[in-house]
Structure 1
Amino acid sequence: MSEIGIPGARIRSFVERIEHLDGELAELNEQKKEVFAEAKGEGFDVKILKEIIKLRKQDQDERDEHETLLDTYLRAMDAAESESAAKTPERKAA
């Protein structure tokens, strides 16, 4: 009954390789945290560094599209706030 037609040694090989890679990923993530901590210790804003990394991963077209949408949304929001303020009568101070 030990022979079930599944290559157990091959499965074990895949599992062990994946476990090894998971260990390497954990180590790399720890190193990344250390670099961010070092940057923060020198006064750099970690959120901004992460944003730069994200932007560098995008191609120029993606980046341009993102900036255009962001600008469009911000202008639309500002316009809505201006309209709302214009419709609201100012209160007189007592």
Structure 2
Amino acid sequence: MADVGGIAADRLRSLIERIERLEEEKAGLANDIREVYAEAKGTGFDTKIMRQIVRLRKMDANDRQEQESLLDLYKQALGLVE
């Protein structure tokens, strides 16, 4: 392994190339996700709501409960609840 200025150049190059490949994969996955949302929209689903559901499903149940409670409290404080 060649050291340039105290840096292992081969190792650095290998890490950079791995990151670049992962970035390409990430871009491909993001495109696939956009296509799924487009398909959902084409069949009449509200993609904005779907994105919220996906975000909520990622959350821990306690965190989700706390967020919903705070949202309800804020809505009551602003007179948005009938």
TM-score between the two structures when normalised by the length of structure 2: 0.89
Which residue of 2 is the match for residue 27 of structure 1?
28
Deviations 1:61-92 (CA, angstroms, capped at 9, x unpaired): 1111111111111111118xxxxxxxxxxxxx
RMSD: 1.5
| Equivalent position amino acid for 1:51 in 2 | Q
Q: Going by fraction, where is strand more abundant, 1 or 2?
A: 2
| Consecutive unaligned residues in structure 2, runs of 5 or more | none
Counterpart of 1:8 in structure 2: which amino acid?
Answer: A
Structure 1 pair 45–3 and aligned structure 2 pair: CA distance change class (3 A): closer
Where structure 1 has 5 or more consecutive residues not aligned to the other structure, the ranges are 80-94
Cα deviation digits, residues 15-63 of structure 1 (max 9, x gap): 0000000000000000000000000000000001000000001111111
User: AA paired with 1:6?
Assistant: I
Partner of 2:58 in structure 1? 57
Q: Letter of the aligned partner of 1:31 in structure 2?
A: D
Shift of the 24–3 alpha-carbon distance from structure 1 to 2, 3 Å rule, reads closer
The aligned counterpart of 2:7 is: 6
**What is the TM-score normalised by the length of structure 1?**
0.78
- The secondary structure found in structure 2 opposite 1:78 is coil
Larger relative contact order (Cα-Cα within 8 Å, sequence gap ≥ 6): 2
- Aligned position for 2:38: 37
Aligned length: 78
Aligned to 2:71: 70
Runs of 4+ in 1 over 3 A off after TM superposition: none
Q: Which has the larger radius of gyration?
A: 1
> Which amino acid is 1:70 matched to?
L
Aligned-residue sequence identity (percent) comes to 49
